[in-house]
Amino acid sequence: MNKWRVTDRLIAAGADGIRGGWIAALCIDDPKRERRRHTALKLFTDVRQLDRYRRRHGEDAPVAMDIPIGLTEEGGFRDCDREARERLGDRRSTVFAPPGRYLLEAGTTYRTVRDLVEERRRAEGAHRVPGVSAQSAALIPKIREVDHLVRAYGLSAPECFLEAHPELSFHRMNGDRPLPPKHTLIGQHARARLVSEHFPDFEDALQRYGQRSSRQIEDILDAYVERDADKAVAVWHRDKEVDDMYTSLVRELLTYMMEDPRNISACLDLIFVAKNLERIGDHTTNIAEKIHYMIHGQRINRMPRPSTA
């Protein structure tokens, strides 16, 4: 997504899991730029790829992850979770109890997780084994990724892997004052203002990230007119970026709906909008396949998509 210069150095990164990988907001220092410090967004297929990227471009750079790090065996709220909930006040519901370590090897369905919890409760007593929310269960594959990475380092684990909570970070950046809900327009503007105070170019990074569907349309029209198969294949490859962006947005909107049922109507409208944008990417991908077939007489829909590294 963003070309890396030889002179670039990673200062810090913030990462969140999405379907099929991770997305990271990078803070980069480039001495050859007039504005040395700038930001970029990058996709990773798994957390180990993110770690390799960190070691290659900024070994001491901290990576803040919106994922629980350091689990108890039984699960439930840790001291850090309780303190975060206390600080957030009315927004405490955004901090949920992480699953117990015994659930990390559970299957991917909520039903499988619940069955393991019930089995544990029968063996040890219901009062000793906390329940697991659907939101917490959905994050188990990502929690497992990070847990395996940190534990693989053993005693030599770098201190750069940090558990972070976006709402708590925004709360601190706002002088420990509450912010409007982030699903509201005023709440989004307030958070954008706080981020822009530290990263003035972050809106440019978002705009570059949000222009994928429109660029796909422009490029596919050019490919069709020019009978350019290479350009059609390039459009076809970029569809995964649009899909990942859509999946991440839907997951976030589902979180808002679980937090407060009053959000359901507005969030459903936004999901429909996001789905239509994602369908634009699907249609351009279909056209790319037809262009390639028209030129070469071969289908491209079974070609492997490239890694995002």
Task: Lowest mean pLDDT of 11-25, 70-84, 109-123, 275-289, name the range.
Answer: 275-289
**Span between the terminal Cα atoms of the chain, in Å:** 9
Task: Lowest mean pLDDT of 123-137, 153-167, 205-219, name the range.
Answer: 205-219
Kindly tell me if the per-residue pLDDT of 5 is higher than 70.
no
Bridge partners for 162 per DSSP:
64
User: Has residue 118 been placed in a domain?
Assistant: yes
Kindly tell me if the per-residue pLDDT of 66 is higher than 80.
yes
For the question of whether the overall pTM of this predicted structure is more than 0.85, the answer is no
Kindly tell me if the per-residue pLDDT of 205 is higher than 90.
no
Q: Which pLDDT belongs to residue 294?
A: 75
Alpha carbon distances (Å) from 32 to 11, 27, 29, 54, 75: 15, 15, 9, 21, 48
The mean pLDDT value for 124-136 works out to 81
Model confidence pLDDT, tens digit, residues 6-63: 457 888 899 988 777 888 888 888 777 666 777 887 888 889 999 999 988 887 888 9
Kindly tell me if the per-residue pLDDT of 309 is higher than 60.
no
User: Has residue 135 been placed in a domain?
Assistant: yes
Domain span at 224:
211-296
Q: Are residues 269 and 245 in the same domain?
A: yes
Give the up-direction half-sphere exposure of residue 63: CA atoms within 13 A in the CB hemisphere: 29
Q: Are residues 221 and 289 in the same domain?
A: yes
Q: Going edge to edge, which strands form the sheet with 21-29?
A: 37-44, 21-29, 9-18, 63-65, 161-163
Number of domains in the chain: 3
The token duo for 272 is: 């429909």
Kindly tell me if the per-residue pLDDT of 291 is higher than 80.
no
Q: Which of 156, 178, 200 is the last residue of a domain?
A: 178
Higher pLDDT, 300 or 193: 193
Alpha carbon distances (Å) from 244 to 22, 170, 251: 9, 24, 11
Distance CA(195)–CA(28), nearest Å, equals 15
Q: Which of 91-100, 206-215, 240-249, 288-297 has the highest mean pLDDT?
A: 91-100
* Per-position b or e across 68-82, b if 16+ CB within 10 A of its CB: bbebbebbebbeebe
Q: Which pLDDT belongs to residue 146?
A: 92
- Read off the CATH number of the domain in which 280 is found: 1.20.58.220
